[in-house]
């Protein structure tokens, strides 16, 4: 190629780049005027029909969770919930030996809070997480005689045995002796230091620590050395069936904390005589059940809902939707969302979805925006930071969850491209949640995916991808809910599609580019 040809090609390329940049600038300007700089090539269309209503959930499965809660929480809108706990204990090693004349010195139970240690000189300072309320509560610990099965015999022991949030009264029928009680308990950010300054100094993060009966564990554990009951955990769980933690509060308030059961334990400190008849001290740790083994169950006792909320969630308007949408964790309240309106021609596809399919738009972004009803909500710290959405027909998270690049971040900031955190005003009151469902809507329009109802719930941890069963299915096809919702004590109230404030109504926003 000669030099003249090279110059001619260079001129053509330069003109092409100038033309492309000009087109890019025009589209960017148009897009910015309509929807802002985030999606510069789209045009906003938020006229799409969305119907939403809320319903009270049936009791929910509360075993096989990553975290559990204990205490009382008084939601400013929904009222008081008491969370009790039943757990098996597990031997750290089979057939433990205690030595001659072993005698229990003390016994403690420890449930650690979620906390982060903050380095500060030689002191132990922690920032606590998942602590709600600061009024005192009373906690009693009982031996439980209820046998918890790990696997369901009706499935040939192939499936996990579910236990549900409403089984508290059933567990109460099997209570044994009270072996510990603490009154006026409030969580503290202070950790614990044992043998300070010595070579065997031990530091323990903040948590519930309470003393249990020495006599009970002397007879129940130490006196059983060499017996079949301590030979292995199968025998042990049938012999010592667990501990039941029951909470009561002096007033309508209280406090509640979350904890990781894999880090909770009962510690038995005892003395014995060695071969030289010298007194020695030792300890035996009994671990809490967790997803790693054994069974641990939360039970929830909810105060009656306020009359107006009870009526709306017991009798949702499934035909037209509702003015307000209610969300509450635990065995609480969920919201059902149906996209694209009615199917007037009865062909199994909403008419509006058929219209979108015919337009063959290039979809840039799709959002559901839920505005907080600030006229009702108290706001502030009581508002859940995260909500989640899933497909009620498949009991699966949406495809947008699977492709969210923020999945590796801490739970509070993870999956925020899909499940946006609560947007707050300068007064720290919640304004809205943005759920970006671009890939889900794109599949409905371009791949003829089934337009199933969607479930919306609060979430304690959006990184938890597990689902929990409801005790019985509910309309429309609700069989499971995300585990993160079961763990959360919080709730909120949102504007529905029939809100009296048209600007705050729930709508599906679509940003698109029309093909030439």
pLDDT tens-digit profile of 470-492? 999 998 889 999 999 999 999 99
202 φ/ψ sector (left φ>0, alpha ψ -120 to 50, else beta): beta
**DSSP class of residue 515?**
-
Answering whether pTM is above 0.85, one says yes
Q: State how far the Cα of 115 lies from the Cα of 130, in Å rounded to an integer.
A: 9
pLDDT surpasses 60 at 9: no
By the 8 A CB rule, do 502 and 516 touch?
no
The structure tokens listed for 233 are 């955990």
Residues 6+ apart with CB under 8 A from 360: 515
pLDDT tens-digit profile of 43-56? 787 878 899 999 99
By the 8 A CB rule, do 492 and 28 touch?
no
Residues 6+ apart with CB under 8 A from 96: 225, 230, 284
The structure tokens listed for 409 are 């971040």
- The percentage of the chain sitting over the pLDDT mark of 70, rounded to a whole number, equals 91
Q: State how far the Cα of 335 lies from the Cα of 478, in Å rounded to an integer.
A: 11
By the 8 A CB rule, do 468 and 486 touch?
yes
φ, ψ of residue 141 to 5 degrees: the values are -120, 130
pLDDT tens-digit profile of 97-119? 999 999 999 999 999 999 998 87
Domain residue extents for the chain = 34-59+305-513, 79-302
pLDDT: which is higher, 511 or 45: 511
**DSSP class of residue 58?**
P
Give the pLDDT confidence score for residue 122 in this predicted structure.
63
By the 8 A CB rule, do 44 and 34 touch?
yes
């Amino acid at each position: 190629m000669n030099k003249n040809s090279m110059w001619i090609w260079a001129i053509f390329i330069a003109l092409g780049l100038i033309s492309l940049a000009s087109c890019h600038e025009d589209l960017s300007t148009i897009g910015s005027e309509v929807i802002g700089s985030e999606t510069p090539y789209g045009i906003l269309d938020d006229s799409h029909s969305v119907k939403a209503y809320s319903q009270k959930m049936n009791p929910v499965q509360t075993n096989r969770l990553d975290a559990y809660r204990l205490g009382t929480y008084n939601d400013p809108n929904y009222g008081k919930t008491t969370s009790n706990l039943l757990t098996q204990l597990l031997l750290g090693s089979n057939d433990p030996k205690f030595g001659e004349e072993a005698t229990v010195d003390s016994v403690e139970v420890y449930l650690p809070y979620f906390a982060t240690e903050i380095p500060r000189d030689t002191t132990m300072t922690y920032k606590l997480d998942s602590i709600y309320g600061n009024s005192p509560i009373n906690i009693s610990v009982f031996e439980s005689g209820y046998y918890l099965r790990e696997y369901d015999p009706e499935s040939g022991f192939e499936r996990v045995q579910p236990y549900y949030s409403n089984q508290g009264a059933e567990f109460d029928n099997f209570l044994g002796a009270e072996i510990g009680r603490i009154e006026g308990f409030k969580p503290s950010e202070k950790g614990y230091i044992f043998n300070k300054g010595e070579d065997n100094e031990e530091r323990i993060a903040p948590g519930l620590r309470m003393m249990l009966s020495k006599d009970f564990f002397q007879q129940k554990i130490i006196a059983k050395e060499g017996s079949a009951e301590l030979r292995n955990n199968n025998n042990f769980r049938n012999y010592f069936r667990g501990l039941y933690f029951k909470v009561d509060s002096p007033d309508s308030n209280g406090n509640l904390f979350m904890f990781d059961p894999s880090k909770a334990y009962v510690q038995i400190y005892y003395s014995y005589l060695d071969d030289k008849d010298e007194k020695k001290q030792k300890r035996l740790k009994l671990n809490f059940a967790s997803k790693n083994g054994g069974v641990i169950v939360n039970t929830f006792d909810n105060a009656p809902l306020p009359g107006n909320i009870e009526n709306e969630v017991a009798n949702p308007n499934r035909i037209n939707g509702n003015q307000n949408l209610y969300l509450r964790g635990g065995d609480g309240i969920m919201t059902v969302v149906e996209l694209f309106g009615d199917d007037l021609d009865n062909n199994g596809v909403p008419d509006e979805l058929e219209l979108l399919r015919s337009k063959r738009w290039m979809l840039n972004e799709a959002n559901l925006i839920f505005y907080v009803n600030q006229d009702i909500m108290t706001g502030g710290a009581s508002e859940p930071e995260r909500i989640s959405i899933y497909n009620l027909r498949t009991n699966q998270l949406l495809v947008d969850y699977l492709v969210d690049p923020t999945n590796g971040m801490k739970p509070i900031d993870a999956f925020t491209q899909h499940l946006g955190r609560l947007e707050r005003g300068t007064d720290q009151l919640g304004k809205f949640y943005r759920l970006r469902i671009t890939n889900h809507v794109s599949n409905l329009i371009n791949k003829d995916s089934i337009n199933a109802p969607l479930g919306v719930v609060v979430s304690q941890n959006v990184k938890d991808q597990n689902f929990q069963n409801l005790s019985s299915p509910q309309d429309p096809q609700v069989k499971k809910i995300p585990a993160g919702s079961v763990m959360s004590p919080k709730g909120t109230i949102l504007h529905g599609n029939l809100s009296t404030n048209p600007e705050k109504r729930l709508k599906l926003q679509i940003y698109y580019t029309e093909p030439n």
